[in-house]
Amino acid sequence: MELCGGTSSFAKKFTIRLDSKASAEVEAVVSRFSHEFCTATAMDVQRTKKSSATMTLSLDAALASEAYTLEVAGGKVRISAAQPAGFFYALQTFKQLFPRSVMAGQPCMDIKTVWTVPNVRISDAPRFAWRGFMLDEGRHFYGKEAIKRVLDLMSVYKMNRFHWHLTEDQGWRIEIKKYPRLTEVGAWRNSKVLGWGDVKPDGQRYGGFYTHEDVKEIVAYAAARFIGRGGLSRISCLRPRAAARGVAVAGRFGRRDQCGGAARRAVCLRRD
């Protein structure tokens, strides 16, 4: 990043010119940015084909897939990238030059607001191809809206892999239609607090799970932010047969003893 001296100001109207060869995925990235940026700044954000556009986005095949360049000077913005992810990250960085309310997506109600950002020249590419975050919901269930918030925060930091831990002895969080007892029994336990050492289970009914439609929605939400799957969790000891027998979900940390001979069934369950 290079500070070029001085600032650029934007107000009322903000026009965007996109490379004519841009893919539909890049179009989607720009459309989403336009909507969010309009809400957060109260500027009238419009697309244009004129060279006088406030922001110009150009394809540069020489750049790596997640790399981009961003230049702000003289009240104009120039962005170059080779792939949709690069444009997405460039637009994230551009929003981060503004006050934090813009990055947070807080609505601005004053259309007369003048936004001022530093003139900069940025050439950016990830140091690591795998930039992941892991969330354990086997032990504690957070819910769909909380997961979306996590994904939003990951996108701020340009993370690109989400390891979603959904099965554990202390809870099964994903619907498997062939094995309904996994969620009927396995998604619920009789303690919100997990016992450990001197900490005792509290007896509170606690749990939850994600339906197929929930998972599809969350996967699509992540994909729109260029976040892919980070890995698979282990199959918990609450197998279909154990659930059918009414084996209680663990209310304490640690692994269960009822896992003998589970390897073959675990393989079948992953396939299903």
Q: What is the pLDDT of residues 154-169, one digit of tens each?
A: 999 999 999 998 988 7
Residue range 148-155: mean pLDDT, rounded: 96
Q: ∠112-47-117 over CA atoms, to 5°? A: 45
For the segment 235-249, what is each residue's pLDDT rounded down to a tens digit?
A: 554 444 554 455 566
Quote helix, strand, coil % in the chain, to nearest 5: 30, 25, 45
What residues contact 182, with CB distance under 8 A and at least 6 apart? 172, 175, 176, 238, 240, 243
Among 114-118, 156-160, 178-182, 214-218, name the one with the lowest average pLDDT.
178-182
Give the predicted TM-score (pTM) of the model: 0.85
Tell me which of 59 and 185 has the higher pLDDT: 59
pLDDT at 225: 97
Residue 196 has pLDDT above 80, yes or no: no
Whether 56 shows a pLDDT value over 70: the answer reads yes
For the chain, what percent of residues have pLDDT higher than 90? 69
Tokens of 44: 């009238």
Average pLDDT over residues 186-215: 87
